[in-house]
Copies of this chain bind each other. A is one copy, B any other.
Amino acid sequence: MKKIIVPLKNRSYPIFIDNGALGQLRPLLKKKQAQKIVILTNSTLNKLYGHLLKKQVSKYEVCWITIPDGEKYKNSATLEKIYKQLAQKKIDRKTILITFGGGVVGDIGGFIAATYLRGIPYIQIPTTLLAQVDSSVGGKTGIDLPYGKNLVGAFYQPQAVIIDTKFLKTLPRREYLCGLAEVIKYGLLGNALFFRYIEKNHSLILKKNSQVLKKLIATSCAMKAHIVGHDEKESGLRSLLNLGHTLAHSIETLTNYSRIHHGEAVAMGLGYSALFSLKKGWLTKEEHKRILGLLKKLNLPTQWPKLNRKKYQHVLSLDKKAVGKKINYVALKKIGKAFLIPLTVEEITKFI
């Protein structure tokens, strides 16, 4: 069992990572003196693994809430439905909310926890690789608005994160690859050795080798925990985690969060960031080639949708990280070293 602590003083919490880590839930609930539990999950997960979760919470009064599967349900309509069920079930502030699913369940569930009764405790059990290495750690919660992704949300830390690699066995290949885009991101932004490790092990990675998976997730989570511990509210360092994401969010908005999945959009964003940094003379041709090569080896797309540049610019101008008229864009100095640079939307989209 790998255990990583997200260091946030009196709000610090552990991340458990292993094949079978779900077994940590029962002792954790006992330690937290849980009385009542709410489980938020989606229909797909519930069918596949609901029975495993049920075993862990058999001692408690449990309210199950199941939402449909998909990013398009990460909206205020779903939020209202969940609030209604919590009110009907008379949920109190001692109730522990468990989010069991991918990024959508985690993000919306975390926001529910942050806002219902002005905050109730919650535990994240992410079941997709993307959620395991990224969205479940660090307390970013939220929903999408019709005008942009994650425009409404809160920083609200969970009590714990339980990452069971077993759930990845049934994860559709496309979703699995999406998670790998975020894993590559960690190597790119701050750990050249890790990037090299991913390159070397790309075929084992595609085979979902257990040991390699654990290493990928633990390294990614440890990097994220370190960054979040230093900059919880994203006033500096944490912004580096947006590598590839500025463009990714635009792509998702322009394609209505449907055709292209988040991880694919991130891969495109990483590809663009590599191109941008090459054109600016920061990255060498060799490095640019390695980055695109790795993305391709892991069957990830590197080319963003060929849409009118103006469309990208319009959506980028809504970016919530915008400061005045400039956006903090994440570029690459080299593999393993990202940096922030404030740019106008015109500058950012120059090479689209």
| Nearest CB in chain B to that of A112: its residue | B152
For window 119-154 of A, CB contacts with B under 8 Å fall at: 119, 140-142, 145, 147-148, 150-154
Report the bound CA distance from A48 to B92 in whole Å.
41
- From B84, B116, B142, B318, give the contact of A87 (CB < 8 A): B318
| A321 interface residue (CB < 8 Å to B) | yes
With both chains docked as a complex, state the minimum distance between the C-beta of A108 and any C-beta of chain B, in angstroms.
Answer: 13
With both chains docked as a complex, state the minimum distance between the C-beta of A137 and any C-beta of chain B, in angstroms.
Answer: 16
A-side interface size class: 35 or more
Q: Are B148 and A87 in contact (CB under 8 A)?
A: yes
| Nearest CB in chain B to that of A234: its residue | B118
Chain A 30-41: CB-based contact to B (< 8 A → 1; otherwise 0): 000001100000
Chain A 90-122: CB-based contact to B (< 8 A → 1; otherwise 0): 101110000000000000000000111111000
For window 273-296 of A, CB contacts with B under 8 Å fall at: none
With both chains docked as a complex, state the minimum distance between the C-beta of A314 and any C-beta of chain B, in angstroms.
Answer: 10
With both chains docked as a complex, state the minimum distance between the C-beta of A253 and any C-beta of chain B, in angstroms.
Answer: 11
Give every chain B residue within 8 A of A80 (Cβ-Cβ).
Answer: 76
Q: Are A90 and B322 in contact (CB under 8 A)?
A: yes
Report the bound CA distance from A145 to B91 in whole Å.
14
Chain A 163-174: CB-based contact to B (< 8 A → 1; otherwise 0): 000000000000
**From A115, A140, A141, residue with most partner B Cβ within 10 Å:** A115
How many copies altogether? 2
| A27 interface residue (CB < 8 Å to B) | no
Chain A 20-31: CB-based contact to B (< 8 A → 1; otherwise 0): 000000000000
Give every chain B residue within 8 A of A118 (Cβ-Cβ).
Answer: 140-142, 150, 153-155, 320
Q: Are A151 and B83 in contact (CB under 8 A)?
A: yes
Give every chain B residue within 8 A of A84 (Cβ-Cβ).
Answer: 145, 147
Q: Are B320 and A92 in contact (CB under 8 A)?
A: yes
Q: Are B92 and A324 in contact (CB under 8 A)?
A: yes
- From B36, B83, B152, give the contact of A145 (CB < 8 A): B83
- From B87, B88, B114, give the contact of A154 (CB < 8 A): B114
Q: Are A153 and B115 in contact (CB under 8 A)?
A: yes
Give every chain B residue within 8 A of A321 (Cβ-Cβ).
Answer: 92-93
Report the bound CA distance from A92 to B321 in whole Å.
7
| A66 interface residue (CB < 8 Å to B) | no
Report the bound CA distance from A323 to B36 in whole Å.
10
Give every chain B residue within 8 A of A90 (Cβ-Cβ).
Answer: 317-318, 322
Q: Are A115 and B154 in contact (CB under 8 A)?
A: yes
Chain A 321-349: CB-based contact to B (< 8 A → 1; otherwise 0): 11110000000000000000000000000
Report the bound CA distance from A321 to B120 in whole Å.
11
With both chains docked as a complex, state the minimum distance between the C-beta of A264 and any C-beta of chain B, in angstroms.
Answer: 24
With both chains docked as a complex, state the minimum distance between the C-beta of A237 and any C-beta of chain B, in angstroms.
Answer: 16
For window 153-205 of A, CB contacts with B under 8 Å fall at: 153-155
List the 4 closest pairs (A to B, CB-CB), nearest first: A87-B147, A117-B320, A92-B322, A118-B153
Show the binding face of A for B, using Cβ within 8 Å: 35-36, 76, 80, 83-84, 87-88, 90, 92-94, 114-119, 140-142, 145, 147-148, 150-155, 233, 317-318, 320-324
